[in-house]
Amino acid sequence: MSVLTRCVSKEKQIQGTWKTDSISNFVNGFTQVNNSQDEHWSHFEYTKEGAVFERRKQEFRKSNYKILKSDSLVYIDSAGTFLSGYKILKLDDHQLVLKKIQKPYLPGKNQQLYEVRFFSKITSDSTASK
């Protein structure tokens, strides 16, 4: 299977609405898990046109997305400027797991900071009742 074929299938798999289940922050060996729905953007809707809508209660923001090399997801603004990027750890019909490397808090070497976001795919039936 070619890289291009895998990219197209990942782009098709990501389409739809995803609910944030939790966010784990890893800081130099320590882990903190945040699963409070009100503290972060809880729903992400990826369209086939390449737009992503991030929703939290009545608020939303829109950007564009691209999948690069089948393992990287990037968000860009309408002018094509890079906003943020994630490594795709898992993407199937039910679960999406993204990893983002964070900048160190302190100067020096050997620091490891990243966040891992866990999402589950939801259907239009489950959002209609909320």
* Span 64-94, pLDDT tens digits: 999 998 899 999 998 999 999 999 999 998 9
DSSP state at residue 125: H
Q: How far apart are CA 54 and CA 19, in angstroms?
A: 10
* Span 102-128, pLDDT tens digits: 887 777 777 889 999 999 999 765 544
Looking at the structure of the chain, the number of domains it has is 1
User: Burial code of 108-127, b = ≥16 C-beta within 10 A, e = fewer?
Assistant: eeeeeeebbbbbebeeeeee
For the whole model, what pTM was predicted?
Answer: 0.80
The residue range of the domain holding 109 is 3-128
User: What CATH number should be reported for the domain holding residue 54?
Assistant: 2.40.128.280
